Amino acid sequence: MQRYFVPDDQFHENHVWITGEDAKHIMRVMRMNLTDKIVCANNMGEAFLCEIDKIQDQQVAAVIRSQLISDPELPVRVVIAQGMPKGEKFDTIVRKGTECGASAFIPFYAERSVAVWQKDRIEKKRLRLGKIAKEAAEQSHRLFIPEVTEPMNLGQLLAACKSFTYAAVAYEETAKKGELSALPLLLKQMKPGDSLLAVIGPEGGLSHEEALAFQVAGCRLCGLGPRIMRTETAPLYLLSAVSYQFELLNNEVGY
């Protein structure tokens, strides 16, 4: 069933008012009619089964039939701090990372980042990425739209580390040394509700100095297996590993 995130102030008593792009999508792309059903989520952890009961001008109104009980959010909050990649790769990372359960994305200027977001285009970039996150969150039945923050430099990111329960840095050199147990050790220490900052380097990876600075700030250097992954694949590996550990392994009932 088609899902839409609707701002909380558009929920009135037993009705949801859908406006803007989403109303157009319902009317023109999906060509829905009265009594058609949709799911509306409020981006505050709740989703409702709704039935369209008014279509007029540029607005759609739907009556709330029932609350949907589901738990599609990772039990731990994972924020991806992504070394600014080239071209359209950030789009892919936000789209796929949202599907895989990320809570937020922090673009950061790493030493080897080539791309720069021009100051006057940052808001436009964030709007575009926010739209991608909303669509991916709707498609993957998430209850929250991941936020894309303003870009940070190394100093800002190091300072931000402190507000997370744990921080992990994907560092290729760690993997090369065969040290692959750091990530599972960290994940096994985490408890539901904890937060994890996961730092991923840009193309070419993090520099030795950056890795050291993160380590000094209390982050753990983790290898993500023995293969060299592209920068846009690493966050998906990490999020999949978190899901496997918390949603599949910890769910085991035995034989």
Two structure tokens written together for 122? 């940052």
114 is a site residue for a copy of itself (CB under 8 A): no
Task: Give the rounded distance of the alpha carbon of 5 from its chain centre.
Answer: 15
233 is a site residue for a copy of itself (CB under 8 A): yes
**Region binding a copy of itself by CB under 8 A among candidate stretches 32-40, 51-59, 61-69, 246-254:** 246-254
The three-state (H, E, C) secondary structure of 22-46, written as one string = HHHHHHHHCCCCCCCEEEEECCCCC
35 is a site residue for a copy of itself (CB under 8 A): no
**Region binding a copy of itself by CB under 8 A among candidate stretches 145-153, 156-164, 175-183, 205-213:** 175-183
225 is a site residue for a copy of itself (CB under 8 A): yes
CA distances from 227 to 135, 169, 175, 176, 208 (A): 31, 16, 9, 9, 19
CA distances from 79 to 36, 166, 175 (A): 36, 11, 22
Which of residues 139 and 215 has its CB atom nearest to a copy of itself in the complex?
139
Mark 115-144 with x for binding to a copy of itself (rule: CB under 8 A) and - for no binding. Answer: ------------------------xxxx--
Two structure tokens written together for 36? 């058609």
245 is a site residue for a copy of itself (CB under 8 A): yes
**Residue 62 burial (CB count, 10 A):** 28
Least Cβ distance, residue 78 to a copy of itself (angstroms)? 13
What is the C-alpha to C-alpha distance for residues 86 and 83, in angstroms, rounded to an integer? Answer: 10
Contacts to a copy of itself by CB under 8 A? 70-72, 96, 99-101, 139-142, 180-181, 183-185, 223-230, 233, 236-237, 240-241, 243-245, 247-249, 251-253, 255
